[in-house]
Structure 1
Amino acid sequence: MNEIGMGISEAERAVEAAIVTVAAWSGKRLRYRAVLGGISNTNFQIEVEDDPVRYFLKVPGKGTEMFIDRKAAVAASKQAEEIGIGPMTFDYLNHLDIEIAEFIQGRRPSTHRDFSDPAIRGEAVRAYRRFHQAPALPLTKTVFDMIDEHDEQVRQLRGYQPPDHAWLRRQYLEARAALEASGLDLAACFNDPMPGNFLIGDDKSIMLIDFEYASNNERLYDLAIWSGEMFFSEQIDREIIEEYFGRYDTAHHARFIVLKALADIKWSTWAMVQNRISTLDFDFYKYGIWKHMRARSIITDPRWPSLLKTL
């Protein structure tokens, strides 16, 4: 753990300058260390003298204001706390767009392997359902809004576009038209199912962290993007649908698969924005290329036209 004054990097010095301004911590010995994980921001654990709470502090990454509404993220974090699926939050540095939450002890970040356990998958589905059933968030941002936003940002930044970008764009617009014609089912959505954003307890219970991308969005998109992130099979997708809705439905499954493709388009395009602006040590180009490839694999499936008709 570093003491105040020991910071070497720009991020460490920024954290020191910020935490010494917290009135509740005035006069206390403060220590901090970097926390690994995440591909957009710089994270730290904070220890405060005589305080049993350990704090998690997030410093926004360069350029993330292009697609993250920090006030909306704080509101979503607070809502998750209130319904019991997120950590305690603290408004000490909200004015600096620096999030502070409880550093939850006794839980560990999930891995992809964890979700091969049906009991853990079931807990995650129930956590999603609780968040979806909560009141609407202050920000409505659908997957369509996200894709259009990132597409324009890539254009302005002169970022990488795949050779078949125009074709992918047409497939997205066709899928969007079909989904909008069927009607969107908006709910408070998490929108960011990286494994590290699920904290697992010894009892296999789940808590969610990191609500930067949370918004009112298509309900099934939230489950579809989670499935894609965890590489679930279609059989597991069927089980998720049955667990969530209480029964399996082919129309829900068609919607699920189409939304998986849109999720990959969204994150592949997001990655190409990050590839132009981020200073973090992460290969966003490789990540984006892989997401493009998986989106194509879904769209070129012979079932794609019938899936759109089923919506």
Structure 2
Amino acid sequence: MNLRSAEPGVLKLSMTVDEDKLIEGALKVLAAIRPTWIEENIKFKVFTDGITNKLLGCFYADAPDDVILVRVYGQKTDLLIDRNAETRNIQLLHAFGYAPNLYATFTNGLAYEYVPGEILMEDTCLDPQVFPLVAVMMANMHRVDCGPDVPKEPCMWTKTCQFMNIMPDKFSDVEKHARFVKLIPNRQKLQQEYELLKSELMDLGSPVVFSHNDLLLGNIIYNSKKECVTFIDYEYASYNYQAFDIGNHFAEFAGVSEVDYSRYPSPEFQRQWLRIYLEAYLNPVEASEKNESLEVTEYDIDVLYVQVNKFCLMSHFFWAIWALIQAEHSTIDFDFLGYSATRLEEYFARKDQFLSLKMPDL
């Protein structure tokens, strides 16, 4: 196994971890990044929350606070994710204090710092002690400047077109294909919906900011002792519309394993959340230190509310197309085809309601 530094402090390992031999592969990774660890004293835990990758926690008896996560990319996810950009994002956001420390990359995965805490659940995402932390963290992340080398263009249209170009029209599994024909609109219909969304959303005036783009509940870690949250899994992070990132987060209140869209946050909750977000986004710490602050008005909240709910439709559409690709290629035990159908069902159920929302008058 060859290794070299990908960036300062990050090793690039020339090796591949077999997803069916996670522990064996993780030991090779640990030999490079924790060479003093004795194999007999290492314990492992497989995390099963994710539906994209395989994740293994590595615990060492003599270093209880130094827990390593080894993440092995799901099969064919290179079709969906720019791994070089992901590595850059994690390092950049770690420097700002918004992401865990990255220790190493290997051909089909990463090794990074474990963040202590609990992932958000369908109840804790509504907790008044928790959701303001999420809103402020997102606002802070949205102010990150990636520098001149990263185009400040919304990724959403290019990424969605990319996904639509590679989504299957026919599945290799006969039974799966039969379900696909029954559950999913044809390509022409999906293309029409995409064009409609693009025409409706492009002129809403949502700012383009550095976005997580996949802020489901399982990607938010809440540490009750420190009263803080950390975002993880920056696979899809890129510049995008502010309202997409927020609308996508609200859509994820429904959960993933057992999706229930009655959990989509109420207008009253959304307005609370958006006020806290805007107060942080419009008034960064450096401004408050100078006693310079901008007042968040009801008009500001009304505008963002309309933008967020309209962009929530794009969230449903985007992840439905993503799930179709996963349904053909992923080896993870998850009903991606059913998930795609669920997202599209919610898209069509909310489409007229959300697209009819009007911007407030000045």
TM-score band w.r.t. shorter chain: 0.7 to 0.9
Structure 2 residue 269 is the aligned partner of structure 1 residue 236 = yes
Distance 1:84 1:18, change over 3 A: closer
What residue ranges of structure 2 are gaps of 5+ in the alignment?
1-17, 172-176, 254-263, 279-295
- Structure-1 residue corresponding to 2:99: 86
Residues 254 and 44 of structure 1: CA distance in aligned 2, closer, same or farther (over 3 Å): same
Shift of 1:178: 3.2
Cα deviation, 1:203-256, whole Å, max 9, x if unaligned, reads 542111111111111111111100111121222222222222233433322211
Post-superposition CA distance 1:74-103 (Å, at most 9, x none):
22212222222322221x3x2424222211
Normalised TM-score (structure 2): 0.74
Q: How far has the Cα of 1:165 moved from its partner? A: 5.1
TM-superposed deviation, 1:295: 0.6
Mapped contact 2:209–2:242 kept (Cα < 8 A): yes
Paired position in structure 2 for 1:202: 224
Cα pair 1:85 1:206 within 8 Å, conserved: no
**Which residue number corresponds to residue 38 of structure 1?**
50
Say if 2:168 and 2:324, in contact at 8 Å, map to a contact too. no
Identity among equivalent pairs (%): 17
Change (3 A) 1:306 1:130: closer
Aligned residues: 298
Aligned position for 2:241: 218
Q: Distance in 2 between matches of 1:12 and 1:296?
A: 43
Q: Name the stretch that deviates more: 247-256 or 137-146.
A: 137-146
Deviation of residue 14 (structure 1)? 3.2
Which runs of structure 2 are paired with 1:123-202 in the superposition (5 Å)?
A: 123-136=133-146, 138=150, 142-155=155-168, 160=180, 162-163=184-185, 166-202=188-224
Normalising by structure 1, report the TM-score: 0.86
Root-mean-square deviation over aligned CA pairs: 2.7
C-alpha distance in structure 1 between counterparts of 2:61 and 2:326, whole Å: 37
Per-residue CA deviations over 1:22-50 (Å, capped at 9, x if unaligned) read 1x423531323322211111111123574
| Correspondence 1:112 to 2:130 | no
Q: Distance in 2 between matches of 1:11 and 1:29?
A: 18
Q: 1:68 aligns with which of 68, 81, 88?
A: 81
In structure 2, distance between residues paired with 1:29 and 1:61: 29
Give the counterpart letter for 1:45 in structure 2: G
User: Residue 42 of structure 1 aligns to which amino acid in structure 2?
Assistant: K
The alpha carbon displacement at 1:17 in A equals 3.9
Q: Does 1:293 align with 2:362?
A: no
- Are positions 1:304 and 2:304 aligned together? no
Would you say the 8 A contact 2:303–2:360 is kept in 1? no
The alpha-carbon deviation at position 270 of structure 1 amounts to 0.5
Q: Which stretch has the larger CA shift, 278-287 or 140-149?
A: 140-149
Q: Which moved more, 1:183-192 or 1:37-46?
A: 183-192
Alpha-carbon distance change, 308 to 293 in structure 1, aligned in 2, over 3 angstroms: farther
Q: Is the 1:43–1:57 Cα contact (8 Å) retained in structure 2? A: yes
Q: 1:168 to 1:118 in 2, by over 3 A?
A: farther
Question: 1:274 — aligned with what?
Answer: 326
Which aligned pairs between 1:19-58 and structure 2 lie closer than 5 A? 19-20=30-31, 22=32, 24-26=33-35, 28-30=37-39, 31=42, 32-48=44-60, 50-51=62-63, 52-58=65-71
User: Deviation at 1:64?
Assistant: 0.7
Q: Please give the secondary structure, in 1, of the residue aligned with 2:309.
A: helix
Please give the per-residue CA displacement for 1:254-294, whole angstroms capped at 9, x wherever unaligned. 21111000100000111111000000111111111110011
DSSP 3-state at the match of 1:9: coil
Question: Which has the larger share of helix?
Answer: 1
Q: Does 1:14 find its partner at 2:28?
A: no
Show structure 1 runs of 5+ residues with no match: 1-6
